[in-house]
Amino acid sequence: MLPVITFGLIGGGWRATFYLRIAAMLPHRFRVSGILLRHPEKYEELLAKWNVAVYRSADELARDSDFLVLAVSKNGVPAWLSELSQAEIPVLAETPPATNMTEFDQLTAIAASDARIQVAEQYPLQPHHQARTACLQSGAIGDVHHVQVSAGHGYHGVSLIRKWLSIEPAQSCEIIGRRFSMPIGDVPYRDQTVPDDREGEEVQEIAIFRFSSGKSAVLDFSRSQYFSQIRANRILIRGTLGEIRDNALVRKTGPGLFESLSLERVQNGQEGSLSPLSLLEIRVGANVLYRNPFSPYPLSDEEIGVAEALVKMDTYLRQGVSFYSLTEALADVRLALAMERSFTEVKPVIVE
């Protein structure tokens, strides 16, 4: 039997509820020891719903936890990471760790220390992205030189770009970014619906990355993709022997020989299945690219990614295997900040 991972939460906002929900659904794998809130009186509804103990200090919470999860507003992350690193408390921090270059420089010094910090960048850990990564690592489409990502904003999209292109944190690049506005008839936000006759505005962000290695990428995203049924994500990964287009794989297998395959999502709980509704695995042909370690529990892909980060944080503390260090996270923030600068100044930006 796998050990139960006990973690404490700092923060009670929207992202914190993901961790509370995951622990409630998987009590055999996760336990929330407590939650640290600056003003607990503001969170009476949350505390009543999840029946979680309130702590007044990080030191007290850390004594009852394997590690702490930092899920505060992004503006509060740098100060908290500084405090926790000085106290030598292991922490899994929500993204982004920094929102400007001043914070970036502050956290770069912390990243160079022995602080036990990992960052919960869940996008590369989501099932379909893990399946695509496994496909690339198998050599199915050869060496990858170009990707187009429309699956997450800013640093999330950048993290996928760097992973699939195998870009080292210090590699330089040129970024050309543009931002466009357009009307949209469906603008829900975090489970909130809107009247059918309401028309809103969405912002489309498109950035081209040209890395010093010669590899390239396009990040193309509108935040309406997170919640709207009329906006879909798109992925293109091009290698020397083929490409992955969303969940379709086309590749060369020999002189004049080619094959087309699909990344198939195998789901429990559908039609005649009596199992709970949950992801079982993702496969291409007979090859399993990803198997859900939390099946048969009904987690969304986002929740699976977050749960994977919790498990990997536990592995990091037990075995020293880093999965997304503060250094890696800051590399993505560095590119995301440069991309934002290109959007704002409407000109190319060079990242040295």
Rounded to two decimals, the pTM is 0.94
The answer on pLDDT for 41 being more than 90 is no
If 0-12 CB within 10 Å is exposed, 13-18 middle and 19+ buried, where does residue 180 land?
Answer: exposed
Q: Are 305 and 132 in contact (CB under 8 A)?
A: no
CA distance 297 to 48: 24
Residue 307 lies in a domain: no
Q: What mean pLDDT comes out for the span 257-263?
A: 96
> Do 106 and 164 fall within a single domain?
no
% of the chain exceeding 90 in pLDDT: 83
Q: Look at residues 119, 144, 162 and tell me which one is the last residue of a structural domain.
A: 119
> Do 89 and 138 fall within a single domain?
no
pLDDT at 188: 61
> Do 65 and 87 fall within a single domain?
yes
pLDDT at 227: 81
> Do 140 and 115 fall within a single domain?
no
If 0-12 CB within 10 Å is exposed, 13-18 middle and 19+ buried, where does residue 352 land?
Answer: exposed
pLDDT band at 22 (very low <50, low <70, confident <90, very high): very high
Q: Which residues contact 260 (CB under 8 A, 6 or more apart)?
A: 248, 249, 250
157-182 pLDDT tens trace: 999 999 999 999 999 999 999 999 98
124-160 pLDDT tens trace: 999 999 999 999 999 999 999 999 999 999 999 999 9
pLDDT at 195: 56
How many Cβ atoms sit within 10 Å of the Cβ of residue 176?
16
223-247 pLDDT tens trace: 888 888 888 999 999 999 999 999 9
Q: What mean pLDDT comes out for the span 47-55?
A: 93
- The count of structural domains within the chain is 2
> Do 156 and 268 fall within a single domain?
yes
Report residue 288 as tokens: 């399993």
> Do 144 and 92 fall within a single domain?
no
CA distance 44 to 51: 10
User: Coil, helix or strand for 275?
Assistant: coil
Least confident of 38-47, 48-57, 84-93, 290-299: 38-47
pLDDT at 276: 85
Residue 272, domain extent: 125-297
pLDDT at 189: 58
pLDDT at 201: 84
CA distance 27 to 43: 23
**How much is the mean pLDDT over the chain?**
93
The answer on pLDDT for 10 being more than 80 is yes
The answer on pLDDT for 331 being more than 80 is yes
Handedness of CA 133, 30, 91, 302 (dihedral sign): positive
pLDDT at 185: 79
CATH number at residue 48: 3.40.50.720
pLDDT at 184: 85
181-228 pLDDT tens trace: 988 876 665 555 555 566 778 899 999 999 999 999 999 999 888 888
Residue 260 DSSP symbol: E
How far out from the chain centre does Cα 120 lie?
A: 7
If 0-12 CB within 10 Å is exposed, 13-18 middle and 19+ buried, where does residue 126 land?
Answer: buried
CATH number at residue 223: 3.30.360
pLDDT at 40: 85
> Do 158 and 291 fall within a single domain?
yes
If 0-12 CB within 10 Å is exposed, 13-18 middle and 19+ buried, where does residue 269 land?
Answer: middle
> Do 104 and 233 fall within a single domain?
no
Q: Are 175 and 182 in contact (CB under 8 A)?
A: no
pLDDT at 116: 97
Handedness of CA 342, 344, 347, 351 (dihedral sign): negative
Cis ω before 293 (30° cut-off from 0): no
Q: Look at residues 70, 98, 119 and tell me which one is the last residue of a structural domain.
A: 119
% of the chain exceeding 70 in pLDDT: 96
> Do 166 and 27 fall within a single domain?
no
pLDDT at 187: 65
- DSSP conformation letters of 211-248: ETTS-EEEEEEEGGGGT-TT---EEEEEETTEEEETTE
> Do 38 and 106 fall within a single domain?
yes
Q: Look at residues 96, 119, 142 and tell me which one is the last residue of a structural domain.
A: 119
